[in-house]
Structure formats: structure tokens, C-alpha cells
Amino acid sequence: MGSFFYLFTPAVFYYGLECAEYNLMLCCMSWTVFFYFKTLHKMKLSALTGFFLFAILSVYSQYGAAFLVTGMYLSLVIAFFQDKNRRMLIRLLLLTVITFFAAVLPLVFLFLIPQMANQGSATVSHIPFFVHGVVYDFFWGIGLTLSYMYDRITVWGVYFLFSICIVSFFLDRKKRIRPLTALAITWMLYYVAVACSFYGYNNYNMSSIGTKNIGGKYSYFLIPFLIPILFTGLQAFTKWMGTKIPDIKKYLFLFFALGITVFCCLEVYRMGVKGWSKEDVREAAMAWYDEDIQDTKTLIHQWNDAAFQFYLTHDKRYHPSLQENIETTGMWIRHTDYNDLRTHLKEMGYLDNKDFYHITPDFGSYEIFLDVMRDEGYSVDTIYEGETLLLHLTKQDI
């Protein structure tokens, strides 16, 4: 049941449609979690080595994985101390030293520091910022993070499972509490990093700082760990209920199996039958190159900017000079009206251009943009059409 629950998790389903860092991270993190639980149960060097190997691959795939890796690592340290397992502690220390010099230092100095040098986050204040307050945001953020991973309907089933999980772990504290300890450590590290604006899906401006950034795709590293947590908790709950009411176990199994089946069917419907598709900025960027329009102004909707820049700069035809004619709107375009949009376009000089190109999603201000441009005497030709559009706007002679 847990495998199906994982495969049909919306975030996993979404990134499963492409070969990208999140899909790779989810794969590597799943193996990290597997070897973590195997280490807890078997206490063998082979399992611990597998944990370190896939932990390295997970963090190299997506830096946020370091929060969960740290949480699992510390829970292993606690477990070895509790069990007075001196041999595993020595092995852990040895693998830690090897990993530090072979993987951590290269990651920090060859990748992380150079990549962060030009980030906008360098100018952001790292004073903690809370939307509702430090305690409220701590627990509110848990629900919000889960809601990003699951659909707004099926997430209530996840809340239910999570509640059962927490209760059931305390029914069998000696062994089962250790994974929950790892999750608690992970959440605290993640929460502090987001609250202090060191980590999170934000745009590094005053409207997007601190705990406003809890959740989103940068928290998906938690998914591979949540599934075994939920289902081992469910197993403990079923076992405990069986001791109280002997015949109830098979009915509980049927109940939860039916619930998982409904969950999977809902996600198949939402992502498949309804015509769900992956964002197609890549195709719009390729169409932009094919038009050979590098000498013409191009206005990028803020929603598509990061993805467009990625595909733009990773194309073999890219040259830094192309950036001279590419401009991005601000966050204002997400919540604009007709007059505000017209004013911004006028100030940016686009209403005076003979022609220019525009890359935009097919929602939000799209229709307003078309109304403004047509009222200003521009014709609109669609070069590429999907969830992302590439438009060519030409001023008509009057």
C-alpha cells in the first residue's frame, strides 16, 4: 500500500514526467531512507554504507535533502548510543570522516559557494520572520507543507494517517520512536532555515521572506521519508487495535486498502483523465530560438522567468549577448488590472515598440495583456501555444 501511495503522490507524479533534479533526488532519497531503516533494524556496516552513499547522491541532487539526511544521521547516532553499540558508532565516525573530505568539502567549495555568490539572497536580511508567530507557524507550516505535496482533497486523508502515526508510535516507543525523532529534527532544521530566509521557494523580496516560504517544491525531500513513517505507524496502530479487538485487524486492512485505492484513483483522474500536463516552458524557449528573434525585444512573464532562463542558457545556441534584449516583468504582473498593466508596459517602453515577443502562462493576466495590446493597436500572432505561450506583437499602421 505504501508503494502505491508513494507512486501516486502528486509531487512524485508531477516530477516523474521529466528527467530533472527533483526526480533524481526523490529516487536517491528513497534509497537513503531504505538504508536508514535497514541500519536501524540490522545494525550492519553494509546498510550504513548504503545510507551514506545515497545520502551523498541525494544532497548532490538537491541541497534541501541535507535537512533530512542530517535528521536521519543524528537519530542513528542517538540509536547507537541508546543501544551502547560501540562498533556501529566507530563505523559511523569513520564513514563520517570519509564523507566529509570526499563529498562535503567538494560540494561546499566547488558547487555551493560559487552558485550562491550571484544569488539575490545575498542581500536579504536573515532576521527570523514569522507570519503568525513562532509557535503557530511551526505547526501551521506542517499542514501547509503537506498541502503542497498532496491535492487539497486527498491531503485530509494524509492528515488522518499522520495523526494515527504520531499516536501509534508512542504505543511502541522503544524502536518506532526513532524515525519520528529523525523527522522532528529534520522539521526543526528546515523550519529555522526557512524562517531565517536561508532556504525556501522565494523571490528574495520583502513580500516573500521567512515562513511565507514554508512548503513548495523545496520541501519535497520529505516525501520518501513520510511514506514509511505513515505506514509503519499504521501498522503499529493496527497491531495495537488487534490486541484490543482480535477480529478487527482484517477490517482495518480492508478499510485502509480501500482508502489508498480511492486516493490513487483520484490522483489518476486529476493528473491523467482531466488532461493534466507538465509545464512546457522548454518548448516555448525552443520556439523562441527557432524564430531567430534575438535582435527583437522579448518580455518574459515573471511566472516563467526562471524556467525560461534555464532553457535559454542551456541551449547550444546561447550567447550572453542575447540577454540584452530580454526583460522580465516584476511580481506585479501576477496581481495586475488593466490600468496598472498598461501603465507598467508604457513605463517599460513596450507600447512604443514596433514589435516585440512575449512569453506568458495561459492564465492570470494573460487576457488582460491581450486587451491592452489590442487596444493599443497591436496584432497578436501565436508562435507557440500550450500552457506557456510565445506571442509576437506587431504595431499596426493607422
Strands 388-395 and 378-385: antiparallel
Query: What mean pLDDT value characterizes the chain?
Result: 83
What digits encode the pLDDT tens for the residues 145-159?
Answer: 888 887 766 778 778
What digits encode the pLDDT tens for the residues 320-364?
Answer: 888 889 998 887 887 789 999 999 999 999 998 899 999 998 877
pLDDT of 176:
65
Cβ 190 vs Cβ 221: under 8 Å = no
pLDDT at 275 over 60: no
Domain ranges, ordered by start, for the chain: 2-114+125-273, 281-395
pLDDT of 212:
85
pTM of the model: 0.73
Can you give the length of the chain in residues? 398
End-to-end distance of the chain based on CA atoms, in angstroms?
Answer: 66
pLDDT at 174 over 60: no
Confidence tier at 22 by pLDDT (50, 70, 90): confident
381: exposed, middle or buried (Cβ count in 10 Å: 0-12, 13-18, 19+):
exposed
Give the Cα separation of 201 and 329 in Å (integer).
18
pLDDT of 204:
47
What digits encode the pLDDT tens for the residues 219-271?
Answer: 889 999 988 887 777 777 777 777 777 777 777 777 777 877 777 777 666 66
pLDDT of 120:
52
Residue with cell 477480529: 247
Residue 83 in 3-state DSSP? coil
Residue with cell 499602421: 397
pLDDT at 371 over 60: yes
pLDDT of 270:
66
Give the Cα separation of 161 and 328 in Å (integer).
43
Q: What is the mean pLDDT of residues 24-34?
A: 92
Cβ 288 vs Cβ 356: under 8 Å = no
The runs of H, that is alpha helices, within the chain are: 2-7, 10-15, 21-42, 45-61, 65-82, 86-99, 105-106, 113-116, 134-149, 155-169, 173-195, 223-244, 249-268, 281-290, 305-313, 338-347, 366-375
Cβ 209 vs Cβ 129: under 8 Å = yes
Percent of the chain with pLDDT over 90: 37
What digits encode the pLDDT tens for the residues 58-97?
Answer: 999 988 999 999 999 999 999 999 889 999 999 999 999 9
pLDDT of 157:
76
Strands 388-395 and 355-361: antiparallel
